[in-house]
Amino acid sequence: MELLKIHGVGDARLDPYERPAAGPKDVVVKMKACGICGSDLSYIKIGGIPTPGTITALGHEGAGEVLEVGADVKGISVGQPVIINPMVTVGNIGSGGPEGAFTQELLVRGAQLGESILPIPEGIPYDIAAMCEPLAVAMHGVNRMEVKAGDKVVVFGCGPIGLGMILWLIDRGITDLVALDLAPERRERALALGARAALDPTKINLREELVKYHGEVPSYGRVGIGTDAFIDAAGAPNILGDVIPIAKFHSRFVITAAYMKPIEVPLGRMLTSEMTITTAMGYPTEMPEVIAAMPRLKDKIASMISHHLPLSQVMEGLKIAATPQSAKVMIQIDETPTTGR
């Protein structure tokens, strides 16, 4: 077997791997699909987590078939198609623990049905199932926006997480949605998911364009744009500074992008808008809701996957995932059909 690991700054390798034996509380999953996450690319860039130079196993967006079940594990059976929730795994899979999902067989320590191990709905392909983790991140960001049907929304960034946010917003009746991204391919995907407009932020005056779509409203002695909520899945340092001066009274701004350096925030301008700025991290409760929606939304979810590659080509997949032309790069672990049941 093999396992994708970080060995240093910019140094990721598909290493030979011998899986540890499963204990009575563990489950082994024969991996079928695992998505490449922007976090994986960040971990490689900094040289491992929690600190540079730490050998780090990668892969946390995984789905597969149960291969072994420990004697003390309840409710999980051999042959069952499952999704792994890495946030609640004992081994912190793919994010600093000893195991990662870019491998043929994944040991899930202390496995529990409904927590670290979640069943795949009947008829859902493994690549769609592996989208659960990024879609849960996107749903949590949308939940933090506290928007309702009919609200006006702006999404900065149309990578996999931003596209997931667009999917959930449209699904919840947010049709007046403007997306912004540098890449034409990603803007096209945003439009296909239902965005009203998809714009290149480097080629527009943000206020003028948003006024066209969302109008203007009186806002505590000045005029703000009519956007109810903004969400940042891009991480460009200018975004918050561009939005605050034009935001209307009591609008909301949610940050899901990871900022590695401090940014300037024009707090003085916020006094006249009482704008709320908050953040969203992970998916504390969202995975079951994402899984329940998969049968209904599987075609839209499939449209968010731009590339399929075998595990043997995962290094090429990492390069593709780092380009703005890609959406989700999905690694197929074996050569069997990618059907969950």
281-327 residue pLDDT tens: 999 999 999 999 999 999 999 999 999 999 999 999 999 999 988 99
C-alpha radius of gyration, the chain, whole number:
21
Q: What percent of the chain has pLDDT over 70?
A: 98
Instruction: Please tell me the predicted confidence (pLDDT) of residue 109.
Output: 95
Distance CA 145, CA 171 (A): 15
State which fold the 139-279 domain adopts.
Answer: Rossmann fold (3.40.50)
Task: Give the pLDDT band of residue 334 (cuts 50, 70, 90).
Answer: confident
Task: Give the pLDDT band of residue 338 (cuts 50, 70, 90).
Answer: very low
State which fold the 2-131+304-332 domain adopts.
Answer: Quinone Oxidoreductase; Chain A, domain 1 (3.90.180)
DSSP string covering 244-292:
GGGPPTT-EEEE-SPPSS-----HHHHTTTT-EEEE--S-SS-HHHHHH
Mean of the pLDDT values across residues 175-179? 96
Question: What global pTM score does this model have?
Answer: 0.94
State the chain's maximal CA–CA distance in angstroms. Answer: 68
Whether the pLDDT of residue 14 is over 80: the answer is yes
Instruction: Please tell me the predicted confidence (pLDDT) of residue 339.
Output: 41
Mean pLDDT of all residues in the chain? Answer: 94
Choose among 151, 156, 121: nearest CA to 141: 156
Whether the pLDDT of residue 56 is over 90: the answer is yes
Tell me: the pLDDT tens digits for 185-213?
999 999 999 999 999 999 999 999 999 99
For the chain, the domains span 2-131+304-332, 139-279
Mean of the pLDDT values across residues 152-172? 97
Whether the pLDDT of residue 154 is over 60: the answer is yes
Instruction: Please tell me the predicted confidence (pLDDT) of residue 335.
Output: 54
CA geometry: angle at 37 spanning 341 and 70, to 5°?
Answer: 50
Q: Residue 120 carries which DSSP code?
A: P
Instruction: Please tell me the predicted confidence (pLDDT) of residue 47.
Output: 94
Whether the pLDDT of residue 50 is over 80: the answer is yes
Give the containing element (helix H, strand E) for 86: none
Choose among 281, 279, 297, 257: nearest CA to 132: 297
Tell me: the pLDDT tens digits for 208-252?
999 999 999 988 888 999 999 999 999 999 999 999 999 999 999
